[in-house]
Amino acid sequence: EIVMTQSPATLSVSPGERATFSCRASQSVNNYLAWYQQKPGQAPRLLIYGVSTRATGIPARFRGSGSGTDFTLTISSLQSEDFAVYYCQQYNNWPPALTFGGGTTVEIK
């Protein structure tokens, strides 16, 4: 099973600042990497797939990058609605299994 590790667990950022956080896979996932945003009490929302392709309706301030085993999500200028938990997910060896990272919480500094 491919293990996804996210860091940091929590990131404190002021509105308007840039947020950058990481996701590392235990083996190469090629470009089969997605990011999701989840707010309290809500379902996750797809942000990015294929490492860097934004999903429909996702603002350009969200940017994904990386390759192989190391990936990054950058939010260029944090808005109030961006404070949430972010999960990475690989789908390289799927089926049979999708795996998610443990999440990064972006909180207001």
Partner 1 sequence: EVQLVESGGGLIQPGGSLRLSCAASGFTASSNYMNWVRQAPGKGLEWVSVTFSGDTTHYADSVKGRFTISRDTSKNTLYLQMNSLRVEDTAVYYCARAPLPGILDVWGPGTTVTVSS
- Choose the stretch contacting partner 1; rule: CB under 8 A; options: 17-25, 61-69, 70-78, 86-94: 86-94
Give 13 or 85: the residue with its C-beta nearer to partner 1: 85
List binders of partner 1 among 10-49 (CB under 8 A): 32, 34, 36, 38, 42-46, 49
Q: Give the pair of three-digit tokens for residue 51.
A: 């490492």
Strands (DSSP E) contained in 1-108 are: 4-7, 10-13, 19-25, 33-38, 45-49, 53-54, 62-67, 70-75, 85-90, 99-100, 104-108
Q: Give the pair of three-digit tokens for residue 29.
A: 């996932």
**Gap between the Cα atoms of 74 and 45, Å rounded:** 16
Give 11 or 34: the residue with its C-beta nearer to partner 1: 34
Give 1 or 81: the residue with its C-beta nearer to partner 1: 1
The residues of the shown chain that bind partner 1, judged by CB under 8 A, are: 32, 34, 36, 38, 42-46, 49, 55-56, 87, 89-91, 94-103
